[in-house]
Structure 1
């Protein structure tokens, strides 16, 4: 940066820069069951998110024992007017969808009543005092295949796990786990995610007619 504003923290890490945006929090709160016999949850953001691209949703199921689940996530709304998101637990055998979330995007919104705002040369808002930055904490895709079985519809399910201790405050990016994946025959396979609090494992489950064993979907975590 040749001119402008740059702010570094005590560790020398640049946290605010007038040329580059970072991932910022646009909404945060809790989610809870609202439909589907307490299996599904629709959450409305405190304010509409006005970005053209859908926000990134990070979720953390509430629990210390049992198995939580983060499945079939989707953002509700349209470009320039994102209003909330949907999420679902896996089944009646997993914990109901209670948890915390934050929605993030690469560009701030003018929401603070006082503080500081920073724009780039193209008048894009980069920083607002009420849209703090997101801190990525880890990402991994070293899943270990565990087993396969059949679901109630006869589709093959593959189970993958990685040891995880669920550090306090860490939330997982759920946008990617809400999308179907390709299978071996041109069809799609569904993807789900379990938080096995009791066993200390994070699971990914794929389900489809032609369900290959290869699985490299990264799990991305961040915190405020």
Structure 2
């Protein structure tokens, strides 16, 4: 920048800048079963998130054994008024949806009663000392194809795996697992996620009538 404020940490990484907004934590808390006989979970943010784009929601399922299967995530609300999110367990054989989350966006919120705020030249709030930053920790897309089988409806289901150590304090971006994927014939593939605590694996599972064995979507992780 030619002028303004720039703050770097001990690793020489810019953490505050008067021209650009970083990924800011706008809400955090826990999620738990609320409906569908314990399979579905609706979580309300502690305050409405007013960004135009849906917030990025990072989750960490609770538990140290078994399989936490998450799917069908969606952010609830509309541009400028996002109020919460929904997520569902994979089925009755996986753990119920329990865990912690944080939701973020590239826009600060005026929360601090005292401290520091920074606006850009167009009066957009870039920094508020009451809204902490989230830190991307890693991402990977080196999934290994394991096998395919059929659902009870006869639809092809494919499994992809990576070794995963579930480090303390790390959360996974769940928005990407709310999207359907296209296959080579243009038909949709549904997308699911399994956290296999006992086996030390993270699985991506796709279900669709035409289901190729390649899978490249990255899994993205962050910490508060």
* TM-score under structure 1 length normalisation: 0.98
Question: Which residue in 1 is equivalent to 2:73?
Answer: 73
Question: Which residue in 2 is equivalent to 1:156?
Answer: 156
1:32-111 aligned at under 5 Å gives the runs: 32-111=32-111
What stretches of structure 2 of length at least 5 have no aligned partner? none
Moved more, 38-47 or 4-13: 4-13
The superposition leaves residues 32-80 of structure 1 with CA deviations (integer Å, 9 ceiling, x where unpaired) of 0001110010000000000000000101100101111221111000000
Moved over 4 A (4+): none
Q: Which secondary structure does the structure 1 equivalent of 2:38 belong to?
A: coil
Shift of 1:2: 1.4
The superposition leaves residues 137-174 of structure 1 with CA deviations (integer Å, 9 ceiling, x where unpaired) of 00000000001111111111000000000001111001
Q: Which secondary structure does the structure 2 equivalent of 1:37 belong to?
A: helix
Shift of 1:115: 1.4
Please tell me whether residue 129 in structure 1 is matched to residue 129 in structure 2: yes
| Residues matched between the structures, number | 224
C-alpha RMSD of matched pairs (Å): 0.8
Please tell me whether residue 220 in structure 1 is matched to residue 220 in structure 2: yes
What stretches of structure 1 of length at least 5 have no aligned partner? none
